[in-house]
Chain A
Amino acid sequence: MIRWLALRAALFLAFAFLLAPVCIVIIVSFNGGPVLSFPPTHFTTHWYALIKPEFFAALNVSLIVAGATALLSVALGLPAALALSRGRFPGRDGLNSILLSPLVVPALVTGVALYQFSLTFWDFTNLALGGTLIGLIIGHLTFGIPFSVRAILAGHARFDYALEEAALNLGATPLQTFWRVTVPILRPSIVAGGIFAFVMSLDDVPIALFMGGGDATTLPVRIFTTVEFDFGGEVMAIAALIVGGSVLLMLVLDRLIGLDCLFGARR
């Protein structure tokens, strides 16, 4: 009994710890007094009116980059995952670990490596990658591709290859087999891979910090560079809006595919 109570207390504290920084953002964004002081003095919404337009421009950049990253990650990840799960070619295991290896590389290292590479690239071609949307998308593909490859490979765990063979034996063309058998069976993991790439892209700071800049500044980087110098109520307001947007996205995802499925925590 005591043991159960102690466990409950530990659980309560852990969940309070997990949720505190997210909840406080919403409370503080309505505080009329100094933002970093507790308790709040009076209710206000004027921080929301003070959000600068460049934050919305940055949100636009983030959504474009995340969308392109998700689509390209799946487009490049699906053939690789199909080949890795079906083919028996020389170097397959090596390729498997190479395609999944970026998950080992710290994002900051990828960021500075791409930054350095874009300088070298400029020296040779006079083409700018840094500070462009293309540069940001390239940067995010470095983790988007491995995540989608892994998600789609995981979707093969209970894949019945006989279904593909059956379709072919019954006269379906390879194209029909691909679209009407393989893709529908793998759809949940393809979607999961794309969502992973999308969410990680929206979240990233280190890579976008070094590959972006100017018009190609994502929302997290805009916030990051803002709080480096000054911490105002409008930052809290934009953060609260992000929390709201994320919760909405989460509820939709949970309804559509199930969050614990997405994270593979269920067994």
Chain B
Amino acid sequence: MSTAAIDGIAAPARTRRGADVWLWIVLPTTVVFCLILAAPIADLIELSFHAMTGPAQVGAAFTLSNYWAFITDPFFLQMFLRTCWLGLLVTLGCAAIGYPVAYYLARTSTRWRGMALFLVISPLLISAIVRNIGWFPLLSESGLVNWALLKLGVIGAPLPLINNFAGVVIGLVHALLPFMILTLTAVIQRIDVELEEAAANLGAGPLEAFWRVLLPLSWPGVLSGSLLVFTMAISAYTTPAILGGNRVLVMATYIAQQFRTVLNYPAGGTAAALLLVFAALLTLLALQVRTSEGNGQSEGRGA
């Protein structure tokens, strides 16, 4: 972008005249982008149609055997279901913890609101790796949570809360909670307070008002927040790798394992291609929800 870019801005906005100039301006970014992302992903997908011939060795012949293995081997089906189960638990956790916070953020107008919003967002700016490490002194056998529960006499022996599936769920709920809260807050804000007051005046208790007024009205937000959190949970690698202690096999940890230690690149490439397609389908679904309901935003990647 040299003089072409500058000339392009000269073209009056929203006219057809500068059409080809704008094409030239957007060209460098598009080319860079194809080289650094589209080509590698195409290369990865191509890889998934070849067989492994030895550690880090890939055969030349075209084959569907990797995909066939994924369909027929129950090992992969189990892994896929485990991944979805993880996503589901994390989504439920985020919705349960996030809804009251979002409700508060949407309804309060005190000076605490800014502080609360800052607290919700701040974990996003603290490195994911640090947040993951922080769970070890909290959740390990002699950590804070087990120490407190033992002292209180709630449990007789330490609970296994880390280096397992439970640890991954806890870590991902923590990592993705801000996304759920921001999405829900935007939606609840647009619900008229008077509707809640009307429900209360007509004799509904707080719980009934929640179930029959607030929740149905905020359902689009719950749905799009859930799709966002679910997609990010099944795509996350860092948290399952650290908090799972190399023992939790989900799609992401399997892919990394194939590339880092097993050196079966085609198998890893196949799983990566499938994860990509799954995540893309979920995102399309989320867009569908968002446009049909005409609501909210906020998206990102974490964990």
* Chain A residues, CB < 8 A from B81: none
B29 to A80, Cβ gap below 8 A? yes
Q: Using CB atoms, name the residue of chain A closest to B265.
A: A116
Q: Which of these, B26, B131, B140, B268, contacts A87 with CB under 8 Å?
A: B26
For A209-241 the 0/1 string (1 means CB < 8 A from B) is: 110000000001001100110010001100100
Q: Using CB atoms, name the residue of chain A closest to B246.
A: A228
Expressed in whole angstroms, the minimum distance between the Cβ of B30 and any Cβ of chain A is: 7
For A173-210 the 0/1 string (1 means CB < 8 A from B) is: 01101100010000000000000000110110110011
* Chain B residues, CB < 8 A from A149: 29
State whether the Cβ of A168 lies closer than 8 Å to any Cβ in chain B. yes
Q: Which of these, B18, B33, B272, contacts A113 with CB under 8 Å?
A: B272
* Chain B residues, CB < 8 A from A34: 142
A14 to B138, Cβ gap below 8 A? no
Which residues of B (47-69) have their CB < 8 Å from a CB of A?
Answer: 47
* Chain A residues, CB < 8 A from B185: 265
Q: Which of these, B29, B123, B235, contacts A99 with CB under 8 Å?
A: B29
State whether the Cβ of B152 lies closer than 8 Å to any Cβ in chain A. no
Which residues of A (242-267) have their CB < 8 Å from a CB of B?
Answer: 242-243, 246-247, 249-250, 254, 259-260, 263-265, 267
State whether the Cβ of B194 lies closer than 8 Å to any Cβ in chain A. no
B25 to A246, Cβ gap below 8 A? no
State whether A108 and B256 are in contact (beta carbons under 8 Å apart), knowing that A11-B104, A87-B23, A206-B237 are contacts in the complex: yes
Expressed in whole angstroms, the minimum distance between the Cβ of A176 and any Cβ of chain B is: 9
Of the listed residues B126, B186, B255, B297, the one surrounded by the most CB atoms of chain A closer than 10 A to its CB is B126
For B83-118 the 0/1 string (1 means CB < 8 A from A) is: 000000000000001101101100000000010111
Q: Using CB atoms, name the residue of chain B closest to A177.
A: B9
State whether the Cβ of A170 lies closer than 8 Å to any Cβ in chain B. no
The main secondary structure of chain B at its interface with chain A is helix
Q: Using CB atoms, name the residue of chain B closest to A19.
A: B119
B100 to A10, Cβ gap below 8 A? yes
Expressed in whole angstroms, the minimum distance between the Cβ of A66 and any Cβ of chain B is: 11
For A123-167 the 0/1 string (1 means CB < 8 A from B) is: 000000000000000110111010001000000000001001100
* Chain B residues, CB < 8 A from A142: 36-37
Interface size of A in residues (CB-CB distance below 8 Å): 104
Interface size of B in residues (CB-CB distance below 8 Å): 102
B10 to A168, Cβ gap below 8 A? yes
B28 to A79, Cβ gap below 8 A? yes
Q: Using CB atoms, name the residue of chain A closest to B286.
A: A104
Q: Which of these, B9, B20, B280, contacts A182 with CB under 8 Å?
A: B9
Given contacts A90-B19, A106-B279, A260-B121, could you give 11 more A-B pairs where the C-beta distance is less than 8 Å?
A15-B101, A18-B123, A83-B25, A87-B19, A104-B279, A105-B41, A112-B268, A113-B41, A142-B37, A143-B301, A263-B298
24 contacts between A and B (CB under 8 A): A11-B100, A17-B97, A21-B134, A22-B134, A25-B133, A36-B137, A38-B142, A82-B25, A86-B18, A87-B21, A87-B25, A88-B19, A106-B252, A106-B279, A108-B275, A110-B37, A142-B37, A145-B33, A220-B128, A220-B129, A224-B241, A227-B133, A263-B182, A264-B298
List B residues at the A interface (Cβ < 8 Å): 1, 5-16, 18-23, 25-26, 28-30, 32-33, 36-37, 39-41, 43-44, 47, 97-98, 100-101, 103-104, 114, 116-138, 140, 142-144, 147, 174, 177-178, 182, 185-186, 189, 206, 235-238, 241-242, 246, 252, 255-256, 259, 265, 268-269, 272, 275-276, 279-280, 283, 297-301
The 10 A-B residue pairs whose C-beta atoms are closest, nearest first, are A87-B22, A21-B134, A106-B235, A117-B40, A174-B10, A161-B13, A10-B100, A113-B40, A83-B26, A113-B44
